[in-house]
Every structure is written in C-alpha cells, then in structure tokens.
Structure 1
Amino acid sequence: MQYTWTEFEQRLIIHRDVKIDISRMLFKYETQIKEYIDKIQQLTFDKTTSIFDELYEIQGYLSVAKYKYYLELKEELDWFIYHFERGDENDVREYWYSKFCNGFIWPFNEGS
C-alpha cells in the first residue's frame, strides 16, 4: 500500500500533536512528584500515607508507559520508576521519608 503525501502529512501532524500532549502530561506528573515530596518534608511520617500512595500510583502509571508502551522518559522519571517500584511497602516509605526530610532533593540523582 502506498500513501500519498497528504495522508503521510496528516499522520505527522497527529504524531506531533500527540507527542506534545504526552510531554505536557509527563511534565504534570513530574510537577506532582515534586509537590508531593515537598509535602512529605512538612509532615510526620504517620501523616504521609496518602501522599506515598499517590507517588506509588504515579510510579505505576509511568511504569506502564515505559514498559508496556515503550515510552522513553527523562532520566529523572526513569530513576523514580526504579526506586519507587516497591513504594507500597512501609519500610521503603520510611526510607524515602528519611531521605526527603534530610535534604534529598528532586530530581533524583545517582550521587544522592
């Protein structure tokens, strides 16, 4: 099957628009992660359950995007997916709570 330039160009426009939308959505997730980490730093560990639940949920969404749909993510989001894979476990949450409250800053980096 051969495509005309018009058909090809239409698909390119759709591709561009979807790519822009996905970039905006990823930016929103990244912003939410930053906001949640800031909130965690202001609370006692006992009051962070719902925030960690949200972070774990975001981790799941991003993980599906990366592994099921082969979406390439920024290094910071890849790092977040990797380190929050077990974000539903209390000891993991305690570890990250301690890191966040002791000056660990998003975006994550290997030196921290």
Structure 2
Amino acid sequence: MELAVVNDIFGKSVEQYDSALLSIKHCLIAYERICAELIEEISSADSLEDARQSFNFLEDIQDKISTLSFNRKINIGKKLDVFVREFDSVYDDRMKEYWYKEFKSGVKWPSA
C-alpha cells in the first residue's frame, strides 16, 4: 500500500474509534443512571423475590461493563468500577440477599 492510502485508512479509523469511544461514554453515563434507578427499585421492593428482576438487570449491566473494563481496558470511571467489582458475584442468590438487605438499609451505591 502506498503511504497516502495507509494515511487515509488510518485517519478514518481514528475518527471511527473516537466516535465509538464517545458513544461508549454516553452509554456508561446511562448505565450509571439506570443502576441507581434499579438500586432504588430494589430498596423499595417488599421482598427479595419482588426485587429479582431488578437484580437480573443489574447482573446484565455488570457483565457488559466488566467486559468493557477488563477485556477492552476502557476506563469506566470510579463509581462504575466499584459497582463492577462489588457485583461480580451478584448471580449468586446469597449475594442478592446480601445486597437486598444493604439497599433496604439505605445504601445507595456499593462502596469498596
């Protein structure tokens, strides 16, 4: 390939990368807001069973964000990093029960 062609491909790839990173950052902001809303729903639930769907959504978000953080090495921010680490085992019913009690007691976000 000639230098001009490589430069053109490189420039377009950098633009796509920048655009993708910006889109990812917007998604991370939305995920953080959604997590806070789900935690609020859990804290208002009458039972762990009533909170199960919210926990399932948190588990799905945690899986997506952890892949981004650990596999892609993309900075997800401190707050989401704590969420990812603390919710690593949220698929386990004992962890759901633990976090249910924590959120019911007034915890608004996991802390390290």
- Normalised by the size of structure 2, how large is the TM-score? 0.84
Structure number with the higher helix fraction is 2
Q: Which residue of 2 aligns with 1:109?
A: 111
Q: Which residue of 1 aligns with 2:82?
A: 79
Q: Which amino acid in 1 is paired with 2:72?
A: Y
Percent identity of paired positions between Structure 1 and Structure 2: 23
Q: Which residue of 2 aligns with 1:57?
A: 60
Out of 21, 25, 28, the position equivalent to 2:27 is 25
Q: Which residue of 1 aligns with 2:38?
A: 36
Question: Within 1, Cα distance between the matches of 2:91 and 2:107?
Answer: 20
TM-superposed deviation, 1:75: 1.1
> What are structure 2's unaligned runs of at least 5 residues?
none
Q: Which amino acid in 1 is paired with 2:29?
A: F
Question: Within 1, Cα distance between the matches of 2:38 and 2:19?
Answer: 29
Question: Within 2, Cα distance between the matches of 1:32 and 1:101?
Answer: 18
Question: Within 1, Cα distance between the matches of 2:92 and 2:9?
Answer: 49
Secondary structure, counterpart of 1:25 in structure 2: helix
| Deviations 1:54-107, CA, capped at 9 Å, x for gaps | 11111111111112222221111111111111101111111111111111123x
TM-superposed deviation, 1:7: 4.7
- Normalised by the size of structure 1, how large is the TM-score? 0.84
Secondary structure, counterpart of 2:98 in structure 1: helix
> What are structure 1's unaligned runs of at least 5 residues?
none
